Amino acid sequence: MDIDALNAFLVSEFPQVADDFEIESLETMRLRVRLRTRPAHLRPGGTVSGPTMFALADVAVYLAVLSLVGPKALAVTTNCAIDFMRKPAADLDLIADVEILKLGRSLAVGDVRLFGEGHEDRPVARASLTYSIP
């Protein structure tokens, strides 16, 4: 699937959140997604909430897997490990950079770094996610 196909898939399968995310770039095994930060994503004090960062990491790996295996809406996350390392600034979009480290017959493993736009050297979180592919 290319960027257009992935964006269309997001809109059709996840209409509730499709507006929040935008695929920025796609290469073999790598994908970059933007979260358009909105007030609903923020904690009091103005940082992006943990569940929002989890959601961004999750959708980013999901889309990277789909780009490789096609539109399998039933792929499911089986595991996530995430380190929250810095407070994200409220006034920046968050960027997720995914690298797929393994694509097996039944399991795929992705590695993601999240950072405020323009601050790639200071990641706010890092996560790895395993997807089970039906």
Which 60-119 residues touch its own copies, going by CB under 8 A?
73, 76-87, 101-102, 106-107, 109, 111, 113
Hey, what amino acid is at 25?
A: S
Residue whose token pair is 């792929």? 75
Does residue 52 touch its own copies according to CB under 8 A?
A: yes
Stretch that binds its own copies, among 8-16, 18-26, 63-71, 88-96 (CB under 8 A): 8-16
Task: Show the tokens assigned to 116.
Answer: 């405020």
Give the residues across from 64 on adjacent strands.
Answer: none
Task: Tell me how far CA of residue 79 lies from CA of 50, 57, 110, 111, 128, in angstroms.
Answer: 16, 12, 11, 12, 8
Task: Show the tokens assigned to 18.
Answer: 């499709």
Size of the site for its own copies (CB under 8 A): 37
Q: Which residues bind its own copies (CB under 8 A)?
A: 13-14, 16, 40, 43-44, 50-52, 54-55, 58, 73, 76-87, 101-102, 106-107, 109, 111, 113, 123, 126, 128, 130, 132
